[in-house]
Amino acid sequence: MAIDTHCHLNDERYDDVNEVIASLTSNNITNGVVIGYNMETSISAMKLADENEILYSVIGFHPGNIHEIKDGDMEKLEALAVNKKVVAIGEIGLDYHYEPYDKDAQKRVFIHQLNIAKRTGLPVVIHQRDCGMDLLAILKEHYKELSGIIMHCFSESTEMAEEFIKMGCYISFAGPLTFKNSKSLPDVAKMTPKELILSETDCPYLTPHPHRGKRNEPKYVSLVVEKLAELREVTYEEMEKQIEENAKKVFFKMK
């Protein structure tokens, strides 16, 4: 069994979404968390969670989508967050990879959504890319008042990992852990306390080895769990059970 804590089944590449969802249980996926990145995909994530018992949703504006925010969207997001199957605010954060970007606007929207998470008691799913120390600085200011922080598709250095672990952030591993050029990720996987480890696919992106090049699906999360188990020298079952416990604690607690 395995849990995919970060999938985009609401992506247009899943024109066969019903079949993919129907195959989850037979592929030993116990739960999936569908992630939004703007208003439209947040609502479609919620719809999938409403229709499928094993799915949950996460709603919010990705830093690359903040230009789409319309008047009233933040209030609407906060109102939607009370839905029983919305389990976090995300994916939110900072991304200075693709020009042009507006650092100040990204920070403003990020902090606004952190405050929504505080008011609603939900954890946050964090996206970060090429944003240096800015994200760390903001989280240092806010982490004590948040119910949980999930560093999605972690791909930073061991030094950065240490900083996040100190704040009790969950480190979520995805396909890149299985890549041959996975750099510092195996070390991060070994140093993260077991109670802070999560597994995800970030599908349809980042398909794990040996399926690279194919469309990613939640079922491939087992390859990430397998790699985690190998690196940490535990059995697959032990690793999976630990991740399930962690996911239950941060995401699936009853509202």
Per CB under 5 A, residues contacting Zn ion are: 202
- Residue nearer to Zn ion on the CB measure, 125 or 229: 125
- Residue nearer to Zn ion on the CB measure, 86 or 229: 86
DSSP assignment string, 107-125: HHHHHHHHHHHHHHT--EE
CB of 158 to Zn ion, least distance (A): 23
CB of 238 to Zn ion, least distance (A): 27
| Packing angle, helices 158-166 and 134-142, rounded to 10 | 10
- Residue nearer to Zn ion on the CB measure, 4 or 244: 4
- Residue nearer to Zn ion on the CB measure, 156 or 202: 202
CB of 45 to Zn ion, least distance (A): 11
Distances (CA, A) of 248 to 33, 41, 120: 12, 24, 18
- Residue nearer to Zn ion on the CB measure, 126 or 138: 126
The span from the CA of 64 to the CA of 147, in Å, is 25
Tokens 């249980």: give the residue: 25
The span from the CA of 65 to the CA of 3, in Å, is 27
Asked if the peptide bond before residue 193 counts as cis, ω within 30 degrees of 0, the response is no
CB of 234 to Zn ion, least distance (A): 27
HSE-CB of 18 using CA atoms within 13 angstroms = 1
CB of 152 to Zn ion, least distance (A): 6
What lies within 8 Å, CB to CB, of 228 at 6+ separation is: 173, 177, 189, 197, 199, 239, 243
Select the residue whose beta carbon is closest to Zn ion and give its number.
202
CB of 77 to Zn ion, least distance (A): 17
Nearest Cα residue to 85 out of 126, 49, 32, 116: 49
What lies within 8 Å, CB to CB, of 112 at 6+ separation is: 74
Question: Residue 195, exposed/middle/buried by CB under 10 A (0-12, 13-18, 19+)?
Answer: exposed
CB of 157 to Zn ion, least distance (A): 21
- Residue nearer to Zn ion on the CB measure, 52 or 65: 65
- Residue nearer to Zn ion on the CB measure, 37 or 164: 37
